[in-house]
Amino acid sequence: MATGTKILVVDDEAIILGLLTSFLGGSGFEVFIASGGRQALAFLETHPEIDVVLSDVQMPGMNGWEFWMELHKIQSPLIRRFIFMSGAISDDSLLRSVQYSGCRFLQKPFLNLAKVAQECTLASMSVSRSWEAITT
């Protein structure tokens, strides 16, 4: 089912990028990476074929919420195929913003990588869902 689905993984931690690239790539997804929100926006300008974005919330420079807001400003269809992930959101206003987006959320550390792949598949199909922390 994941074959051909193109995912952009955005995280400032190389170990997370490597883990998700390896697992999701092995699960049939085509995985691209960016180390921050600004790099992700630049990548998307030349790669409009991306199906799903999986982005960390807390990153230096442009955080995940700011990245999502930039996509929202340009009315990108990716705002409904966007998954936030974080180990902890220490800023309450940032947490409320992520909840406001209506996007999926994955809690790090990932205890069940198959759940990450499932959420990416659902997001690629634009299946709507109310926000909830998914402990994986």
Instruction: State the Cα–Cα distance between residues 30 and 52, nearest whole angstrom.
Output: 10
Q: Which residues contact 34 (CB under 8 A, 6 or more apart)?
A: 8, 9, 10, 40, 43
CA distance 58 to 4: 28
- Per the listing, tokens 């409320």 go with 96
CATH number of 6-135: 3.40.50.2300
- pLDDT band per the 50, 70, 90 thresholds, residue 28: very high
Answer positive or negative: Cα dihedral of 76, 6, 23, 116.
positive
Task: Indicate yes or no: pTM above 0.85.
Answer: yes
What is the CB-side half-sphere exposure of residue 127 using CA atoms within 13 A?
8
Comparing CA positions, the residue from 131, 114, 41, 56 lying closest to residue 86 is 56
The model's pLDDT over 39-96, given as tens digits with 9 standing for 90+, comes to: 999 999 999 999 999 999 989 999 999 999 999 999 999 999 999 998 877 777 777 8
